Amino acid sequence: MVIHISADGNGDFSTVCAALASIPKDCQEEILLYIHKGIYREQITITHPHITLIGDSAETTILSYDLYAKMIMEDGQKRGTFRTYSCFIDTHDITFRNLTIANTAGEGPKVGQALALYADGDRLFFDNCHFLGSQDTLFTGPLPPKEIEVNGFIGPKQFSPRINGRHYYRNCYLEGDIDFIFGSATAYFENCEFFSKNINQAVNSYVTAASTPEGQTYGYVMRNCRFTSNCPPCSVYLGRPWREYAKVVLIDCYMGEHIFPQGWHDWGKVQAHDTSFFAEYNSFGPGSNMNSRPAWVHQLSEEDLVIYQKEKVLEGTDGWNP
């Protein structure tokens, strides 16, 4: 089934939400949504599996919304992080290609968390996509088992079972400021660019904030990626542990001068020095000096790389190989 979406009215539908709503719940077909160039300002939720969304290009097909955590709801409560998404994936076997997903709410210090994508599913593939936002641009679900703050997980999956998903991001551009890639999924990033935005703070950005569950083999693996920025030198961390078993592995990645010499931050979680796993192999560029990294950051050998091949990281029990 192929559905054409065009903001100018020349497709089957003019909005993504209307096209998704037209899919019968009992539909067993593979579904292709072709989204023609335009800015689609709508909050999108995807619950039907086996859908591919393809745009004309990441530069011209833009899915955008602007909700943010500090926004006051009708009941007087703040919206919170997990109700701010521009796009929410709550199913499996979804592919995005040649699209931008954006949250345009504003800088993290001003508006708080503002998700562009809330991705909570298995076998999710993003190819040549842009993810634009500020604080918490991309959430790779599921949520951690427990909240730190009361009602910190208010949103669509607050009380749902935590099911680990596998995500693959290829040739993607991701930007933000604070913790702009975060969550618990097993996610493989290949040939991606991570752009940290200058917010004129002593620490302008933490790129990752993984919450890998205890016992999960993989968290984030980033291979042949580039860490870039418009921030001044030594003002960005590669990541910090949102939860104490966080895992992030960087292989053959370029790091600009914006990266702090120590590279990683422990978020004040001293116990995470023993329980987390932050590792690098063959980092290069001005921000890549492993001699300045803390003792709890690991330097991989060539022999270690076999377990971080894409096929190994993503295969699971069903042999998924996107």
Per-residue pLDDT of 69-83, as tens digits, reads 999 998 888 999 999
∠ CA(99), CA(1), CA(187), 5° rounding? 40
Write down the pLDDT at residue 92. 97
Is residue 316's pLDDT more than 90? yes
Average pLDDT over residues 85-102: 98
The tally of domains found in the chain comes to 1
Domain-embedded: residue 109 = yes
Q: Is residue 310 assigned to a domain? A: yes
Alpha-carbon distance values, 37 to 11, 61, 100 (Å):
11, 4, 11
Pair 112, 155: CB distance under 8 Å: no
Question: Residue 27's pLDDT band (boundaries 50, 70, 90)?
Answer: confident
- pLDDT tens profile 176-216: 999 999 999 999 999 999 999 999 999 999 999 999 999 99
Residue 129 and residue 144: Cα distance in Å, rounded? Answer: 26
- Pick from 21, 81, 12: nearest CA to 46: 21
- The per-residue pLDDT for range 143-171, each reduced to its tens digit, is 999 999 888 999 999 999 999 999 999 99
- Domain residue limits at 278: 2-314
Whether residue 321 is contained in a domain is answered as: no
pLDDT on residue 34: 98
Residue 149 has a pLDDT of: 87
Evaluate whether residue 320 is within a structural domain: no
Q: Write down the pLDDT at residue 259.
A: 98
How far apart, in Å, are the Cα atoms of 290 and each of 109, 250, 259, 277, 281?
30, 12, 12, 15, 9
Instruction: Output the average pLDDT for the chain.
Output: 97
Mean pLDDT of 295-299: 97
Residue 303 domain-assigned (yes or no)? yes
* pLDDT tens by residue, 134-145: 999 999 999 999
- Domain with residue 51: its CATH number is 2.160.20.10
Instruction: Give me the pLDDT at residue 75, please.
Output: 86
pLDDT band, residue 272 (cuts 50/70/90): very high
pLDDT at 150: 87
pLDDT, tens digit, 9 for 90 and up, residues 240-267: 999 999 999 999 999 999 999 999 999 9
Residue 43: pLDDT above 90? yes
Residue 203: the pLDDT is: 96
Q: Is residue 202 part of a domain?
A: yes
| DSSP result, 214-275 | TT-S-SEEEES-EEEESSPSS-EEEE--SSTT-EEEEES-EE-TTB-TT-B--TT-TTHHHH
Query: In percent, how much of the chain has pLDDT > 90?
Result: 96
Q: Are 264 and 297 in contact (CB under 8 A)?
A: yes
In this predicted structure, what is the pLDDT of residue 28? 85
Asked if residue 322 is part of any domain, the answer here is: no
